Amino acid sequence: AAKSAGRPGYRVFDQEMRDRQHDRREMEDDLRMALRNEEFEVFYQPFVDSGRKAVSGFEALLRWRHPEKGLISPGVFIPLAEETGLIEEIGVWCMQTAFREAASWNTDMTISVNFSPVQFKSAKLVEDVDAALRASGLDPRRVQIEVTESLFIDESENILSTLKTFRDRGLTISMDDFGTGYSSLGYLSRFPFDKIKIDQSFVRDLSRPENIAIVRSVIGLSRALDMKVLAEGIESREQMEILYAEGCREMQGFFFSRPVPASEMPLVITEITQRWNTDLAAATGAK
Ligand code: C2E
Ligand code: MG
Ligand code: MG
Ligand code: MG
């Protein structure tokens, strides 16, 4: 603010800054309270295997039911939770809940949990995962951890060894939002991921030849590196058909289902299964 002093409009700017800082602090306090008051919920979004024509797993997606502001999206509160370090506790809570709920479902489907890069700074992460596995009795082979490329911005041996430890336990590791981060591809050769998730920004507009080219090369890359590939953000039958034709089998998006509370999961599985028997089958197998 010192630099802008004297310029016209700086007062307005300062006031805006103060407002924003105030909002932020308020939200930070709210976030702390939220953990204590159990205002978080875990929603689940299925991903499907269009080869097997079945739901193959669910991604756990955090929701915050704020007492006054209503449902707040993780896009808003996760960055704040990361800045304040609260993500450590929130992340562990989300994982424990997801493991416990998934263990109670009568399936062997995968449960996929997002881990923030900040969580990897915690010396306790592996311990927390082990404890959550023990407490839930969940088979570790059903667990998938989603990480983003930002985890690899600074190459650290610690991160690689943590990921390897997870793998030794039987967990699988997924690279989320692939192609949107700023890290080099070097980490792909240093750590064997199980799955690449093609970011929804490439799926959104497949009429652009650039996006088809990117999708095609990511699928090729995943094959060459012997990793699975999943396309995120599928909203239409057309997108599904194009991706299927390109060789992508695992898919996730509003076209199949929005993220839903655990109680709605059985219904979602039934609905998707029924749709394979009717309209979805025609979009894939028939080609
Ligand atoms: P993500 O892990 O890439 O999750 C996918 C996001 O895309 C979810 O948003 C999901 O609701 C949304 N989505 C799924 N299908 C479609 C579609 O067809 N169209 C559109 N427009 N969107 C779709 P959500 O739940 O708001 O989460 C946003 C991000 O917040 C997640 O992106 C993830 O990075 C982060 N996040 C969510 N839960 C957690 C968590 O428990 N821990 C951490 N560290 N991050 C989380
Ligand atoms: Mg994810
Ligand atoms: Mg994603
Ligand atoms: Mg994302």
pLDDT, tens only, 49-63: 998 889 999 999 999
- Relative to the CA of 115, which ligand 1 atom is closest? 44
Residue 38's alpha-carbon distances to 28, 94, 114, 131, 235, in angstroms, are 15, 11, 19, 20, 32
- Relative to the CA of 259, which ligand 1 atom is closest? 11
Cα of 61 from ligand 1 centre, angstroms: 6
Per-residue pLDDT at 287: 44
Alpha-carbon span 91 to 104, nearest angstrom = 20
Local structure of 95: helix, strand or coil:
helix
Q: Are 219 and 245 in contact (CB under 8 A)?
A: no
- Relative to the CA of 119, which ligand 1 atom is closest? 44
Consecutive H or E run containing 147: strand 143-148
φ, ψ of residue 162 in degrees (nearest 5) = -65, -45
Cα of 199 from ligand 3 centre, angstroms: 6
Cα of 215 from ligand 1 centre, angstroms: 19
Q: What are the residues whose beta carbon lies below 5 Å from ligand 4 (ion)?
A: 177
The 10s digit of each residue's pLDDT in 215-242 is: 999 999 999 999 999 999 999 999 999 9
Per-residue pLDDT of the chain (287 residues; tens, 9 = 90+): 445 455 666 666 788 888 888 888 888 889 999 999 999 999 999 999 998 889 999 999 999 999 998 999 999 999 999 999 999 999 999 999 999 999 999 889 999 999 999 999 998 999 999 999 999 999 999 999 999 999 988 778 899 999 999 999 999 999 999 989 877 888 888 887 999 999 999 999 999 999 999 999 999 999 999 999 999 999 999 999 999 999 999 999 999 999 999 999 999 999 999 998 887 777 776 44
Consecutive H or E run containing 210: helix 209-224
Cα of 210 from ligand 3 centre, angstroms: 20
Per-residue pLDDT at 27: 83
Among protein residues, the one whose CA lies closest to atom 37 of ligand 1: 61
Strand partners, 214: none
- Relative to the CA of 146, which ligand 1 atom is closest? 2
What residue ranges line ligand 1, CB within 6 angstroms? 45, 61-62, 73-75, 78, 91, 94, 114-116, 146, 176-177, 200, 232-235, 253-254, 259
Cα of 21 from ligand 4 centre, angstroms: 25
What are the counts of helices (DSSP H) followed by strands (DSSP E) for the chain? 11, 10
Residue 160's alpha-carbon distances to 50, 73, 90, in angstroms, are 31, 30, 23
Cα of 94 from ligand 4 centre, angstroms: 16
- Other C-beta atoms lying within 10 Å of the C-beta of residue 233: 18
Among protein residues, the one whose CA lies closest to atom 20 of ligand 1: 233
